[in-house]
Structure 1
């Protein structure tokens, strides 16, 4: 029986290109499995369901090796489990050498294994390069003064009055935090920042 596996990195990416390629192989939608998440590991619900369903003699289509995953060791491990332990054939559509139905002799297996190693290494390298570029982009943005995360909430109108009463030990920290509608830790952090700013 033929199956197809599709992965896109997030809900913002479109899986249409992969769907078209796999449907051309005559795979019905009920045997197409789609995950919308990172390829850093194989903790993906649809992939796990597919792996449980695959049986010896089945054929799994994927469009490209990086759709299977981006972790060098895990791609090779999953390939081994599917092809050797489960007896499943795999066809990578954009890389004809990665079709386990072809060249099942020693030389064919050697070539397929070699290509798999190179491509899975390339997939992981690209993932690491993406992370590096993201980190560099964030660092550059921070250097330009770009702020990340939610903007801080404004202090409540009664904060200064409550802070003064707390500093003069007229009320306890917990009472002060409650009066301002804040957790104790948040009130204390805001109070320290406020005091530093007034000293400066």
Structure 2
């Protein structure tokens, strides 16, 4: 059995260090750590494909979070099942390792498969719907800013990075988290966050 790890961020501006440190703390050898700076909208990523081709029966794959695997509902389910059932390897999600450890589901037999399918379907669906809501809120925010005469320039093309920025702004406006906490949660860079606030003239709610 070989223990592997896969990490991903969506853009070149984002940092993989946090994920890398987690994998190193687990004692995973560098040659078995695969990292991409690419969108999660599909699975045509260089390091992901190399990692997948290297998987053998009995291998164990660590991911920091489920959305590092991908961002597409159907794709997440398909890739998870292919790796754990067709390739007979295992996956552990560090963010939810007490729940998302395919070895535990396998030990439960058919009932475990049913539970695994339900949990995966729920979390994948929630993640996809949240991205759609972020996009809608972004559009609504732009419309409000335009109406108030505060919108400058053309709206940015929607990307996963912008969705994360929208989430960061929402946390910021709630007023109960520091910027340090917000960037850690949303995985956006501090500079991008401040640039977005300035560009859209966003103030923290009192």
Band the TM-score falls in, shorter-chain normalisation = 0.5 to 0.7
**C-alpha separation in 1, matches of 2:80 and 2:52:** 11
Change (3 A) 1:136 1:12: farther
* Aligned partner of residue 34 in structure 1, secondary structure: strand
Cα offset for 1:137? 3.7
1:1-200 equivalences in 2 (<5 Å)? 1-95=2-96, 96-104=98-106, 105-143=109-147, 144=149, 146-148=152-154
* Aligned partner of residue 94 in structure 1, secondary structure: helix
Change (3 A) 1:9 1:141: farther
* Aligned partner of residue 13 in structure 2, secondary structure: coil
Cα offset for 1:142? 4.7
Q: 55-64 or 120-129: which moved more? A: 120-129
Q: Alpha carbon RMSD of aligned pairs, Å?
A: 1.9
Could you list the runs of 5+ residues in structure 1 that have no partner in the other structure?
A: 150-200
1:142-196 C-alpha deviation (Å, 9 max, x unpaired): 55352239xxxxxxxxxxxxxxxxxxxxxxxxxxxxxxxxxxxxxxxxxxxxxxx
**C-alpha separation in 2, matches of 1:65 and 1:107:** 22
Change (3 A) 1:103 1:84: closer
1:74-133 C-alpha deviation (Å, 9 max, x unpaired): 100111111122111111112222111114222222222211111111221222223223
Matched positions, count: 149
